[in-house]
Amino acid sequence: MKKSLFSGILSGAAVAALSGVAFYAGLNSPVEVATPWESIGGCGAGGSGGGSGDGIKWIGQGVSGGYLETEVFTKYSVGQNFSGVTFTPHFSIKPTWSTKLGVSIPWMSHSGEVQYRSNQIPTDRTTGGMGDISFDFSKTIGSGGAASLSASLTIPTGQYDIKRGTDAAEEILPSSFQKGSGLYSLTLGWDYSRDTDQGIWLYGLSYTHPFAMHLISGENEFNDSYWKDMDHKGDRFEYRFKPYGENDLGAYTPPSVGGSIAYGYRGRPGIVQSFGVNFSIPLGVAWINSEKVGTYDPRPDPDHQAWSVAFAYGIEFSNADFPVFLAVSLPLHDKANAADPSDEYDESPMRKWDAPDWSDFGQQWTIAVGIKGSFF
């Protein structure tokens, strides 16, 4: 407990220092007339990096001129009983002036307490490695390029059945400790930008739909291991395609909708500051798999959130060759509803929308550092 408290104090000091330096740099640079937004990317203005969970998105001048664009984000997230680091390089090319193809390869490390039941003693666990790879495509539309459509496909390359414990008592770790989801996921997005004298407004909407697929084998990948002693009838064990997000351990991820609004300010030379709000709403209740190896027993996720919002501040130190981006994000979500003690399979308590959980606000946060380059 003392270690967690000390780490939280250091983490809070780091966030305060980062935010202070960023604001000081942005507000105390000499003021000059800003160049038009068209010269720094217009609708593009960054935007490929980051994730919907933390709301961090690169907004700024970025780079141009090369055939291959590289963007690398390193993020550090911390909460009351966990911490994690992700390192995500994103490589993209532009086949035409209005289209972009890219791939993201995330690497992660996660540490924290694991407690499956309230009557169990928490244990510390750590995992790490490559996560689920994503491919993305975007196309600007309209004569001014103010709007764009995008699609991304995430494939299950990260392990999602990581276990810890002794041979006789191994347990599958919660999803937050896993490197992948065991699912494919298709995200469709729409983005729109509106220029102002010294900045730009950015709006976005998205829909994400997870699904499961084994086109070649046509069966659950654990039929010969975890489920070898079970009857394999039904689409949970024999299938080629499932149009919903249930992985082979039984965990379910519902579809979700999201939206964002952000403002990028470029009233000072060499610096672009941005402020954004990102929201996400799952269209259903998430279920988790059993922690017991060899037991197929999914149940509603007691930590399910009916809605979540992320507030983000970012600052780009613009450079024609290698711009740098710093950001900080704070999440806010509804209060979690505990499962019905008489029926832990009843998901109705988790469906309820509740007031914001202000007691947790500021206890979780993410800081990010990004760099871009354009080559060839």
Backbone φ and ψ of 49, nearest 5°: -85, 180
Q: What is the rounded distance in angstroms from the CA atom of residue 157 to the CA atom of residue 284?
A: 25
pTM of the model: 0.84
HSE, CB side, 13 Å, CA atoms: give it for residue 261: 0
- Does residue 30 register a pLDDT over 90? no
- Please give the helix or strand (H or E) that residue 340 lies within, else none: none
Answer yes or no: CATH 2.40.160.40 is held by domain 2-375. yes
pLDDT per residue as tens digits for the range 150-192 = 999 999 999 999 999 877 778 999 999 999 999 999 999 999 9
**How far apart, in Å, are the Cα atoms of 34 and each of 61, 147, 201, 314, 366?**
12, 23, 16, 18, 30
pLDDT for the residue 267: 85
Q: What is the rounded distance in angstroms from the CA atom of residue 289 to the CA atom of residue 89?
A: 30
Percent of the chain residues past pLDDT 70, beyond the cut:
85
- In the chain, where the domains are located: 2-375
Q: What is the rounded distance in angstroms from the CA atom of residue 100 to the CA atom of residue 70?
A: 12
Per the DSSP assignment, residues forming a β-bridge with 328 are 313, 367
For the chain, what is the largest distance between any 2 Cα atoms, rounded to a whole number of angstroms?
72
Segment 8-26 shows an average pLDDT of: 40
pLDDT per residue as tens digits for the range 292-322 = 999 999 999 988 999 999 999 999 999 988 9
The answer to whether the beta carbons of residues 158 and 183 sit under 8 Å apart is: no
The answer to whether the beta carbons of residues 349 and 343 sit under 8 Å apart is: no
**CB contact set of 114 (below 8 Å; sequence gap of 6+):** 122, 123, 124, 125, 164, 173, 174, 177
pLDDT per residue as tens digits for the range 266-289 = 988 899 999 999 999 999 999 999
**CB contact set of 10 (below 8 Å; sequence gap of 6+):** none
pLDDT for the residue 168: 72
Q: Extract the tokens encoding 118.
A: 């309230």
Q: What is the rounded distance in angstroms from the CA atom of residue 150 to the CA atom of residue 251?
A: 28
Per the DSSP assignment, residues forming a β-bridge with 256 are 208, 282
Band of pLDDT at residue 46, cut at 50, 70 and 90: very low
pLDDT for the residue 147: 94
